[in-house]
Structure 1
C-alpha cells in the first residue's frame, strides 16, 4: 500500500514530500504547493509534478544514476524529453498563477541539471589538470563507487553527494591541495575511516570535495624522551590516516599502551580521533585524545601547515584542577600563539568526558569535527603495559536496573585513583543482550537485565587479587548479581567479543538507529538507568494502546468476504472489550506491561469473536505485528567508569510517526542528561544529530572562531551552524524498496537487497578484507560495497520504471564490485549482523552472468573447463597444454615483459599485470600417474604396512591431485606412515568451488550432486568400516564438502591433513624456523601457527592474501597484482631476522602455493609436503611409492 503522505515517487529515503520540495526548490515553492493542494482540479497535474520532483531528487542524490546520464546521451535525451513533456502537460492544464510559479522553478531546476550533466566531464577534466600534478591522477576519484561511499558516515544520514574524492598519499601534498581547491571554488571536508556517529563527515552543501586521509597511514618508530624532571617516556608519531587499532597493535608489540581507543578502533583513523576528541573503554584511566596527544600538525583553510604542541605533558589523564599549555607554530617553527586551558575548559566538573566546548580557547583541530582544517600527523604519549590484568563479568538479574546502577557507582568510588586501577568498565543493557544473543555465564535469576565487563590492572599481583576480592565484597550485598572471572587471556578476549557485537541492535530496523551519547556524573548513573527503564515501560504501554486503536480503526472499515452485517455486530462487541482493556492498561503493573498481557488477551478475544473471517483476521494479525515492530526502545551501553552513556534508538527510517516519536524520546534523554548535571556528548561529537542540543553560547563562540580562521567558509560548510539540520538530511530506506519487490525479483536482486539491508556501516569488515589496501587505491571492503550496492539497486529501480526498460544496463557497474572479493568470508566473523559478503559476491556474479554483463577471460574459461572435466583421456592432454606448456610460456614471457613494464604508459595494461612475476612450475605428473587406473565408479583402498589404526576418506581436489600432486602424495604418505587406511575417490573429482565462485551455478550444482552421489555410494560400499575422518588438503575443498554434507555421509569429522596429523601426535624431527601464510579459505581455522609450534616448528605468520585467490589472478590480474605487492611487503618485513636467504613459507592451500610461488623472496611449500620431508627425509617420495603397493580397486 502506498503512503498517501508520500506522493513523490522514486523516493527510497526517509525524506517526506515537504522536505524534498524544500531541498530542491526552497520554502517559498513549498508554500505555493501547499496552497495549490487546497484547490480542485489539479489531480493529474499534481501527479506529474510530484513525479518530476521524484526525478530530480533521485538523479541528484544517486551517483550511479547521474553517471549513467553523463555517459549515455540516448538515455539522457529520452529522459529529459519526458521531463519536458511532463512540464508541458502541466502548463497546458494550468489554471492558477501558482502553478506557473512552480513550473518556472521546475524549469529552472531542469536547466541547472542539464547544464551540470553537460559540463561535468569538462569540470572534472579541469580539476584533474590542476590537481594531478599535486597528488597524481590515480588519487582523484569521480566514479560513483567512491562518491557513494563518501556521501555518509556510520549514521547513514546524507544530504548532498561530494563532487570528488581525493586521496593524497603524502602529508606535504595537503597544503597545496587546499590552495588549489580554494582556487577552483570548492568546499573541503576532511575524512578518515567514515565511522563517525553524528554525521560529521557528511556533505551538507553542494560542491564539496572529500579529502580522504586513509593513505596517510605510516606509523613511525617509537621515540624516547625525557621530562624536565628526567623521567623517560615513549612517544609514537604517525600520520593521520593510521587506523587506530594498528596504532594500538604497534604499541602493544613493544610493550606499550596506546590509550586513545574508541569502540570503532578497528576502522577509525587518528585524524578523526583528534577531530572528535575520541575516547573509549580505557578513557576511565587515560582520558580521551586530548589527554594523550603530545603534538599534531594541521593544514588550515589558508593552506598553511601549523604544528600544535602541548608543553610539559604530565604523562597522565587531565584533571579538573590542571592547567594545559599549547604552542602553535608555523612551517618554519615560529611560535604564532600560546594557548592556555584549564581542566574545566576541557571537561565539566565531575565528568569523565565532554566535547561540548568546541572552541577550546582557539586550539586548532582538536574537537573541531573537521570544521577548521585537516589534521595530517600526530604523536601520542604511550604508557607502559601493566604487568597484570584481570577481567571479570558481572551479570545483573531482575526486573529493573536498580542494582546495576548502584554497583557501578560503588565500584567506581572504591577504585577511584587507586592501585589496582580500573582500566575498563563497560556496561550494556537488556536490549543489547537480546540483540547480540548473549549467552549467560552464571545464572542467578530468571531475567538477565544488564552486563558489566571490567578490566582491572596493576603491576602488583597481590594488589590485583585484593582488588578482585574487593569487587566480590561489593557484590555480597546484591543477591541478583552473578560474577564470573576470566581464567586466562583467551577467556578474557571471549568476554570482550560480546562488547564488539553491539552494532546488531539495529538489525531489525534495517540498520538504522538514532545513536547518541551523553555523559553523566557517576552518582547520577543509577537515576539515569531508572529513567531509561521507566521510559521503555511507558513506550510499551503507548505501543499497546496503538495496537488496540489501529485494530479498531481497521475493523470500522473492514469489508469481509461475507456477512458484513454480522461482522458489524461483532465489531461493536470488540469495541466494548477494547474499552475494558484500555482501562486495565491505565492501571497495569510493570510486569503486565512488559509481558504485553492485556494486549495479547485483546488479540486472543478478537480471534475468538471473528472466527471464520479469515481475511479480516489476517489483516488484524498484520496490524498487530506491524504496530508492535514500531515499538520505540531505548537501548544503552556505557563506558561506565567515566559516565559516558551511549543511547541507541532503533527506528524504521521510512516511518514518519515512529521517527518523530524516536526523536521525541531522544529529546527527553538529552533533557534528562542536562537535568542530572551531565552533557549531551562525550565522544561521538556534535555533528548533525546533536547540534540542536548544543548550548547557544557555545555555538556563538564557535561561529566566531570559524569566521576568524576560515572567513570564506571553505571547510565543512553547514556543519555545526544549521539549527534545523536534522530536518534537512535523510537516509535511504530498504523498506521502501520492498514496494518494487517484483522488479527486484525479476532481476534476481531481491535476495541481494535483503542480504545487505542490515549493514550498520561499522567498518568491522575493513581491517581483514584482502581488497582493502590504501597504498594501491583498493577500498572495496564490504561496508563501501554495501553502500554502493544499495545506490545501484535504487538506480536500477528508477530506470526500469521511468523508461519501462527491463534490460538492467546499469547493472554493468556491479561487476567491479563483485570482482573485488576473494570469497574468504573473513568479514562474516567480524560482522555484528552476520552479513557474509563472500556469498553476496557470488550472488552478484550470478546476476551479472544471467544478465550477460559478466566478463570471463579465455584463460579463466579454459581453466574452469579443465577443472570441470573428469575424462581420464583428456585430462593429461589438457594438463600438458594448459598447465605445463602454459606456465612455461608465462615464465618466458615474464622475462620479455619486464623492460616493457617500466614504460609508464604501458605498465597498467592487463597483459603486463599477468606477467608481473613467474608462476610456479606445476608437478610433472598428477597423483593418478602413481595409482592404478580406476573408472568413475571405482574407489581405491590403500592399506598401511602395519596395523590399521583407523580408516579415513581423502578427497585430494583439483589443486592437490592435478596441479601440485606432491601435496596429495605427501598426504597419503603421512596417513600411511601413521597407520591410517586411506580410501580415495574416483579420479579427477572437483569440489565445485571454482565453478561456484565464477558464476557457473548449474555446473557447480551438477558437480555437487555428482559428488554427493559418489560419496554416498562409496560409504555404502565400505559400510563395514568405521571412518575416523574425512581428509582434505585444501580450504575450498573443506568448505564445499562441508556444504555437500560429507560429515553426515561418512559420520566422521572433516579435517585438514596437517591438523589431523597434529591431533594424532605428529611432531617435527628437529626444531626449525620458517614463515607461515594463512589461506583465505583456512582449513586450519587460524590455528596453524599454534599447531606448528606444538609440533616443534616455529612459524611467523605473514598477513594478507597470497594474491592468487583461485582464478582471480587470471580473471582480474589488476586486483591480484595489487594484493601481490602487499604480500611482498609483508614477507619482506616478516623474514627479517630469520637468518635464511630464501626461507620457506608454509601454507595449507594448493592455490596459495601457486600465489606464494610468485614471490622470489621465499620458497612456498604446502604443510603436508614439509611434514612428509620431516617424516621421511629427502627420499620420502621413494618411500611413498613403496607404501602404496598394498592397494586395491573397489567398484561401487
Structure 2
C-alpha cells in the first residue's frame, strides 16, 4: 500500500506469530509484492530508508555503493550496527505473539502488564503528543516524548514476554529501563488532549510504577520516601518534628549548598545546557542537579492547624466570624474546605489565606478533623493500594462529618490545590453532602464578587498548574478577573517540581526547569517592555508549583506567590496572617466532637 511501485513499498500483514503456516503464507505475499513493485519499474528502497524485511530483495549492485560509504564514514559500525550489511536478515528476529498474554508467559499473567499493553497498543506514532509533553525538551532531551516512551514500553513488554518464554526469568536491566521510562513523566495528562486515539501516558506511567512495586523492582529513593512519609503521617508531634528537620533544617542546608555550588560555578553548566538522560546519572551529578536551584525560605514556622490549635483528629473545626454570625442578615452559608497536605503542612499561608478570605466574607468554614492527605501523591507514585486505602478512609470519615454536622447546609466543597481537586473528584462528594459541588477557592471568591483594586507598582504573570484546579473557566481568565489592572500574562510550561519529581529524578527536573526559565524570562520581558521597573510577581494555584516557581526568583527577577495569598495580603493588610489567627482563636472556632 502507500507508494507501492514508485519507490516506497509498505507491507503490513496482520499475522499470529505463533502460527508457522500463517507466517509462511504472509512471507509468500511479501515476495509477490516486491516482484510486482520491480515489474512496475519501481524499486524496493524508498525515501524512508529500508529495514531488514526488504534486504533480501535488493540486488548486490543496488547496495554496494551504500556499503562502501558506510565503511568510509563509520568504520567501527557505531550507527545502525549491521544495517544493510551481510548477515542483517530475519534469521535472528523475534516477534512475540500477544495472543499469548496470560496463557504461556508467567509475567504476562500479571494483570498490570496486560493493562499496560492494552493502554499503549493503539498508538499511531503520529507525534502529536510531543509539543505538549513536559519532559520532552528537545534541546536537553530528545528521547522521552510520549510517542517514544510508548515505543519503549512496547519493546520492553516484548522483552519481558520473550525472556519468560525462553529463559523463565526477566533481566533486571529490563526492569531498570522500565522504571526509567516511567520516571520521565510528570503525570500531567496533557498528552491525552491531542492524541487521536486517547492514550494518556500519565496513566500508563502510574500503571508502570505499580507494576514495578508489585514485582519488588521499584527503585528506592530516600528523599522521596521521606517526602511521602511526611505527607501521610497524622500524628501532630511527629509532623512537627519531621517538619522541623526536613523543612526547617533540610531546606536551609540545601539553600546553603546551592549558594556554595553557584559560587564555585558547579551548577551553571547544568542549568545553561542540561545534559540528556538515559537512566539515573552518577551520584555526584545527581547531587548537583538537586542543589542547582535553591528551595524556598522564610516559610511559616508552624502548620496552619497548629497555629489554630485544631490538630485533634476527634473534633471538627467550624470557623466563623462571631460578629457577622450575630448579625440579623447573616445567611449562615457553610462550605467544607479540604486544605490538603501541601497547603496545610508545607505552605501554611495558603490554607490560612483561604480560610481568612472565607472568614472575611462571612462564610462558615468546616475543616476536616486532623491532618489528612487526599491520596493522590501515593497513587501517582505507584502505591495504588495505599492511595485507595487513604481515599476510602477519608470518604468514610467525611460521611461521619456530614452526619455530625447535618444541621449545616454545606453546598460547596472547596480546595486550594489541583492534585487534591483531581483526587477529590473520585470521592463523590455529592453523595456525602447531598447536592454539593467541588470548587477551587479562587473560583468561589470570584463568584462572591471578591476582586483586587488596580495598583501600579506590581504586575503579574500567572502559572497554570499541570493539574488545573479551576474547572468552571480557565485559570488565566479567573486570575484576570480577580486582579484588576494590566492584563495578567499566562506563563506556559511545567515548573519542574511535579510533586516529588525534583527529589526522585532531579536530572529530569533540571531539563524541565530549563524550558520554564526561558518562558518566565520571556513573560517578564514583555511586562517590562514599556519601561516598567516595578515588581513582577509570578502567581500560581498549586502548592507544589509554588515551591517550584520560587526556585526561579533569583534567576528571573520575579517573586513567586499564591493567588489567594496575594489577595489576602492586599485586601486584609500586610499583617493578615497573624490578624486572622488572633481573630479565629478569639471565639471564631467551634470544635465539634466527631
Structures share a fold, TM > 0.5?
yes
118, 126, 132: which one pairs with 1:768?
132
1:653–1:825 distance in 2 versus 1, CA, 3 Å: farther
Contact 1:771 1:778 in 2 (8 A): no
Aligned to 1:1020: 403
498, 521, 530: which one pairs with 1:1132?
521
Q: Report 1:91-110 matches (<5 A).
A: none
Secondary structure of the equivalent of 1:1028? strand
1:658–1:907 distance in 2 versus 1, CA, 3 Å: closer
Contact 1:796 1:811 in 2 (8 A): no
Secondary structure of the equivalent of 1:973? helix
1:743–1:939 distance in 2 versus 1, CA, 3 Å: same
Q: Report 1:447-458 matches (<5 A).
A: none
Contact 1:936 1:987 in 2 (8 A): yes
432, 445, 460: which one pairs with 1:1074?
460
Aligned to 1:744: 108
**Residue 876 (str. 1) matches residue 240 (str. 2):** yes
C-alpha RMSD of the superposition: 4.1
139, 149, 166: which one pairs with 1:785?
149
1:854–1:658 distance in 2 versus 1, CA, 3 Å: closer
Aligned to 2:290: 914
Secondary structure of the equivalent of 2:497? coil
Shift of 1:919: 0.4
474, 479, 486: which one pairs with 1:1092?
479
Secondary structure of the equivalent of 2:372? coil
1:732–1:1063 distance in 2 versus 1, CA, 3 Å: farther
Aligned to 1:1109: 498
Post-superposition Cα deviations, 1:1015-1053, rounded to whole Å, max 9, x if no partner, equal: 111112222333221111111111111123334322322
- The TM-score with structure 2 as length reference comes to 0.78
CA separation in 2, counterparts of 1:1074 and 1:1131?
11
**Residue 942 (str. 1) matches residue 319 (str. 2):** yes
527, 537, 545: which one pairs with 1:1144?
537
CA separation in 1, counterparts of 2:96 and 2:460?
50
Shift of 1:1142: 5.0
**Residue 1165 (str. 1) matches residue 529 (str. 2):** no
CA separation in 1, counterparts of 2:423 and 2:167?
42
Shift of 1:657: 7.2
Shift of 1:970: 0.8
Shift of 1:1088: 1.1
CA separation in 1, counterparts of 2:430 and 2:577?
30
Secondary structure of the equivalent of 1:999? coil
CA separation in 2, counterparts of 1:1031 and 1:1178?
25
Question: Structure 2 regions of 5+ residues with no counterpart?
Answer: 37-41, 74-78, 271-281
Secondary structure of the equivalent of 1:954? strand
Aligned to 1:270: none
CA separation in 2, counterparts of 1:787 and 1:768?
18
Contact 2:537 2:560 in 1 (8 A): yes
Contact 1:653 1:731 in 2 (8 A): no
Contact 2:224 2:504 in 1 (8 A): yes
1:866–1:729 distance in 2 versus 1, CA, 3 Å: closer
Shift of 1:739: 4.8
1:1105–1:732 distance in 2 versus 1, CA, 3 Å: farther
Post-superposition Cα deviations, 1:929-957, rounded to whole Å, max 9, x if no partner, equal: 33233421321111242524622110001
1:736–1:759 distance in 2 versus 1, CA, 3 Å: farther
Contact 1:1107 1:1123 in 2 (8 A): yes
1:911–1:711 distance in 2 versus 1, CA, 3 Å: closer
Post-superposition Cα deviations, 1:197-254, rounded to whole Å, max 9, x if no partner, equal: 97xxxxxxxxxxxxxxxxxxxxxxxxxxxxxxxxxxxxxxxxxxxxxxxxxxxxxxxx
Contact 1:734 1:753 in 2 (8 A): no
**Residue 1118 (str. 1) matches residue 544 (str. 2):** no
Shift of 1:803: 2.4
CA separation in 1, counterparts of 2:287 and 2:48?
50
Q: For the pair shown, which has the larger CA radius of gyration, 1 or 2?
A: 1
**Residue 929 (str. 1) matches residue 306 (str. 2):** yes
Contact 2:160 2:170 in 1 (8 A): no
**Residue 1193 (str. 1) matches residue 591 (str. 2):** yes
Shift of 1:979: 2.9
415, 437, 441: which one pairs with 1:1057?
441
Question: Structure 1 regions of 5+ residues with no counterpart?
Answer: 1-196, 199-353, 359-368, 370-513, 517-648, 672-679, 693-698
CA separation in 1, counterparts of 2:566 and 2:5?
60
Secondary structure of the equivalent of 1:840? helix
Secondary structure of the equivalent of 1:1144? strand
Aligned to 2:200: 836
CA separation in 2, counterparts of 1:779 and 1:1047?
43
Secondary structure of the equivalent of 1:873? helix
CA separation in 2, counterparts of 1:986 and 1:659?
68
Count of residues paired in the alignment: 529
Secondary structure of the equivalent of 1:991? coil
Shift of 1:1065: 2.5
CA separation in 2, counterparts of 1:761 and 1:730?
21
Secondary structure of the equivalent of 2:132? coil
Q: Report 1:591-740 matches (<5 A).
A: 712=69, 734-735=98-99, 737=101, 739-740=103-104
Q: Report 1:65-76 matches (<5 A).
A: none
- The TM-score with structure 1 as length reference comes to 0.40
Shift of 1:1177: 3.3
1:741–1:709 distance in 2 versus 1, CA, 3 Å: closer
1:991–1:732 distance in 2 versus 1, CA, 3 Å: same
